[in-house]
Amino acid sequence: MDIILLGPPGAGKGTQAQRLVANRGMVQLSTGDMLRAAVKAGTPVGLKAKTVMDAGELVSDAIVSALIGERLDSTAGQGAIFDGYPRTRAQAEALEMLLGERGRAVDFVIELVVDEDALVDRITGRFTCARCGAPYHERFHPPKTEGSCDVCGAHEFKRRPDDNEQTVRTRMAEYRAKTAPILPIYDDRGIVHRVDGMKTPEEVADAIDASSTARRRK
Ligand SMILES: [Zn+2]
C-alpha cells in the first residue's frame, strides 16, 4: 500500500509517518531525508544533487523524481509513505508515472486539515529542553515546575528559529497555493481521506487507521 500524507508544515505529518513505519513496517519517503542519504551514499542522483546544492541552488523536480525512483525500488512489498512530497502538481504527476512504471499506484491520501490560527498557536508556543530534548508547549504542556524540565531537571530550553508566526503563515499560504491543487487528482479517484489534524496525535492516528481499514474493505 502506498500512501501520501498531505498537510501544511506543522500539521503533524512526520509524527504520523513515524507511527505508520513503527506499526506497519512501511517505509517513510521524506525527500529531505532521502536527499541527505543519497548525497552521503554517493549514489548517481546523490552526486548530481550535491553539485546543485553546493552551488546554493534548489534541487529540481527532475532530480527529486530520480531520487524517488531510486528509493521506490527498495520499498517494493513494504509500501511507501510520502511525507512532504509531492509538493506541487508537477511532482504529483511525476509520482503517478514513477509508481505506474512499477505497477503501483497511490492507494490513498490522508490530508491533515488544520485551522490556521490554531496552528500558529501550536507552533509558536512549542519549545524543547536543551539537554534532553523533552517537548513542551507554553499553553498546552508547560513544565510542571516553571523553568525546569520535568524529565531531567535542566533549566535551559530552546526554540526552533522558524517557529514564529510569520514563517507559519508564509508556509500555510505556500501550501494553499502549490500543494492543495494536488488534491483534485486524487479526489477524482475518491481516495482522499480528510482527518482533523488539530486533534491529539493519538486521535489523528486512530482516524488514519480507520480510513485505511475502510479503504481495504472496499
Ligand atoms: Zn530535559
Contact between 3 and 112 under an 8 Å Cβ cutoff? The reply is no
Bridge partners of 113, per DSSP, are 196
Using the mean position of ligand 1's atoms as its centre, give its distance from the Cα of residue 154 in Å: 5
Task: Please compute the mean of the pLDDT values over residues 45-53 and round it to a whole number.
Answer: 88
Q: How far apart are CA 95 and CA 101, in angstroms?
A: 10
Tell me, what's the pLDDT at 78? 84
Catalytic annotation, pick one of 169, 171, 194, 199: 171
From 19, 48, 71, 87, active-site residue: 87
Q: Which residue has the cell 527532475?
A: 62
Question: CA torsion angle for 25, 26, 29, 35 (degrees, to 10)?
Answer: 30
Check residue 25 and give left, alpha or beta (phi > 0: left; psi -120 to 50: alpha): left
Pull the grid cell for residue 40. Answer: 552521503
Q: Side by side, which strands form the sheet with 157-158?
A: 135-137, 126-129, 157-158
Whether 176 is catalytic is: no
Provide the edge-to-edge strand list for the sheet that holds 108-113. 27-30, 80-83, 3-6, 108-113, 192-196
pLDDT of res. 187: 94
| Catalytic-role residue among 40, 160, 176, 216 | 160
DSSP 199: S
The residue whose grid cell reads 508556543 is 125
Integer-rounded Cα radius of gyration of the chain: 19
How large is the angle between the packed helices 31-41 and 44-54, nearest 10 degrees? 100
Question: Per residue in 59-71, pLDDT tens?
Answer: 888 888 888 888 8
Task: Give the distance (Å) from ligand 1 centre to CA of residue 151.
Answer: 5
Residues 6+ apart with CB under 8 A from 154: 129, 130, 131, 132, 148
Residues bordering ligand 1, an ion, CB closer than 5 Å: 129, 131-132, 134, 149, 151-152, 154
How many CA atoms are closer than 13 Å to the CA of 54, on its beta-carbon side? 7
- What is the CA(16)–ligand 1 centre distance, in A? 24
Q: Give me 124's grid cell.
A: 509558536
pLDDT above 90 (res 36): no
Q: What's the CA gap between 72 and 66, in Å, rounded?
A: 10
- CA 126 to ligand 1 centroid distance, Å: 14
Q: Which of 171, 200, 23, 182 is nearest to 111 (CA)?
A: 182
pLDDT tens string 187-215: 999 999 999 998 988 999 998 888 877 66
Quickly state the pLDDT bin for 217 (edges 50, 70, 90): low
User: Residue 71 catalytic?
Assistant: no
Q: What is the mean pLDDT of residues 95-105?
A: 93
* pLDDT score recorded for residue 128: 96
What pLDDT, on the 0 to 100 scale, is given for residue 150?
A: 97
User: If you measure from the C-alpha of residue 136 to the centroid of ligand 1, how many angstroms do you get, rounded to a whole number?
Assistant: 10
